[in-house]
């Protein structure tokens, strides 16, 4: 696991290129680990080959690392969806209009969720899919990953405490770092501390009364629709908080004062939502995979049960093997209980 952590830390050094920065991504992962069921924790620790409490945090920035490699370059467009709206007059995300033909964060989350569930794929392929799922849930909650204007704010130059940055970087990293008083060089320690605090706010603090509302859009039977609802939610903040006066007026402005005071609560809320929803999504993946495995194992058990019966009792004389097997199914289902073990609740 030292190699995995080293890769994550290396990715943090690329200023302005990481969605949410390392701090945001690692925080959402740590936060999710507070709320997943025990079954889910065991499932993903096994899949990710990491039995420590950092099993999600250690892979949270992997997708940003590989997007700049030759073999992973194609995944770059999966980190965002380019909403072609007109902030602050109008904000909105339309899948057909805004998602590129090659894909976007909405369709990528759906695709890699399905791959994480696919029993035909190797464990390593499902491991990779899980890494993408963890990362893209973080990405989709960052408002400027749901916006097209100036490449999601990358082309808008502003000031942050006297230094020049692009607006995307400010929303990825600067606001969050100031919010928790942390430094970029210690993303894991700061992320864990932030996640611990947010977990308490979700359990019994200021987010306790709204956390159930956050999960109302979660529909595992409509993964694209779920992801699209999250993208639209994030995109709405572009009009109200990211570019409240428009993209031209913000150029060259100092954002470390009054702008920060309005933006920081949005960052905190979106990180909290991302981590809590990530836990629910990972629970669904683990439950679905295990349920399918139990069902497949159940049919194998049923077939073995039939094969062990005396040949004379497998079916009526003259019946084909297929007819005899189907006849046995209707009788033996009452003898063998084929139900999935329900997930533990947190």
Q: Which pairs with CB-CB distance under 8 Å and at least 24 residues apart come from 10-13?
A: 10/65, 11/61, 11/62, 11/64, 11/65, 12/61, 12/184, 12/187
| In the block, residue with structure tokens 């408002």 | 143
Closest alpha carbon to 133 in 28, 41, 10: 28
Query: What DSSP state is assigned to residue 172?
Result: I
Give, in order, the Cα–Cα distances in Å from 5 to each of 43, 52, 179, 244: 20, 12, 24, 38
Between CA 210 and CA 226 the distance in angstroms is 18
Between CA 227 and CA 140 the distance in angstroms is 8
Query: What DSSP state is assigned to residue 99?
Result: S
Quick count: other Cβ atoms within 10 Å of Cβ 96?
Answer: 5
Q: Which residues are annotated as catalytic?
A: 20, 25, 64, 67, 79, 135, 139, 145, 168, 172
Query: What DSSP state is assigned to residue 343?
Result: P
Distance of CA 182 to the CA centre of its chain: 24
| In the block, residue with structure tokens 């683990």 | 286
Between CA 254 and CA 164 the distance in angstroms is 9
Between CA 54 and CA 27 the distance in angstroms is 11
Whether the link from the prior residue into 88 is cis, omega within 30° of 0, is yes
Exposure of 341 by Cβ count < 10 A (0-12 exposed, 13-18 middle, 19+ buried)? exposed
Distance of CA 165 to the CA centre of its chain: 27
């Amino acid at each position: 696991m030292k190699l995995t952590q080293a890769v994550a830390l290396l990715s943090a050094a690329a200023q302005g290129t990481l969605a949410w920065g390392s701090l945001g991504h690692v925080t959402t992962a740590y936060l999710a680990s507070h709320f997943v069921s025990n079954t889910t924790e065991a499932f993903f620790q096994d899949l990710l080959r990491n039995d420590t409490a950092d099993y999600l945090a250690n892979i949270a920035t992997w997708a940003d690392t590989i997007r700049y490699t030759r073999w992973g370059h194609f995944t770059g467009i999966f980190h965002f969806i380019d909403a072609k709206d007109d902030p602050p007059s109008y904000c909105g995300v339309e899948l057909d209009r805004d998602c590129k033909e090659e894909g976007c964060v909405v369709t990528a989350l759906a695709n890699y969720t399905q791959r994480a569930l696919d029993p035909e794929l190797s464990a390593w392929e499902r491991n990779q899919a899980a890494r993408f799922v963890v990362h893209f849930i973080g990405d989709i909650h960052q408002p400027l990953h749901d916006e097209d204007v100036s490449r999601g704010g990358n082309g808008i130059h502003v000031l942050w405490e006297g230094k020049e940055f692009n607006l995307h970087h400010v929303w990825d990293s600067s606001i969050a770092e100031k919010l928790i008083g942390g430094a970029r060089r210690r993303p894991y320690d700061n992320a864990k501390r932030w996640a611990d605090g947010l977990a308490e706010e979700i359990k019994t603090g200021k987010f306790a009364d709204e956390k159930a509302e956050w999960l109302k859009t979660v529909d595992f039977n409509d993964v694209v629709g779920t992801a699209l609802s999250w993208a639209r939610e994030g995109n709405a903040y572009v009009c109200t908080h990211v570019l409240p006066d428009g993209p031209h007026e913000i150029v060259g402005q100092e954002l470390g004062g009054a702008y920060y005071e309005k933006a920081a609560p949005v960052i905190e809320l979106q990180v909290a939502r991302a981590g809590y929803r990530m836990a629910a999504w990972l629970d669904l993946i683990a439950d679905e995979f295990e349920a399918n495995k139990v069902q497949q194992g159940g049919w194998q058990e049923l077939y073995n049960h039939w094969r062990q019966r005396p040949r004379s009792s497998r079916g009526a004389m003259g019946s084909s093997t297929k007819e005899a097997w189907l006849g046995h199914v209707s009788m033996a289902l009452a003898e063998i209980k084929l139900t999935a073990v329900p997930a533990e609740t947190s």
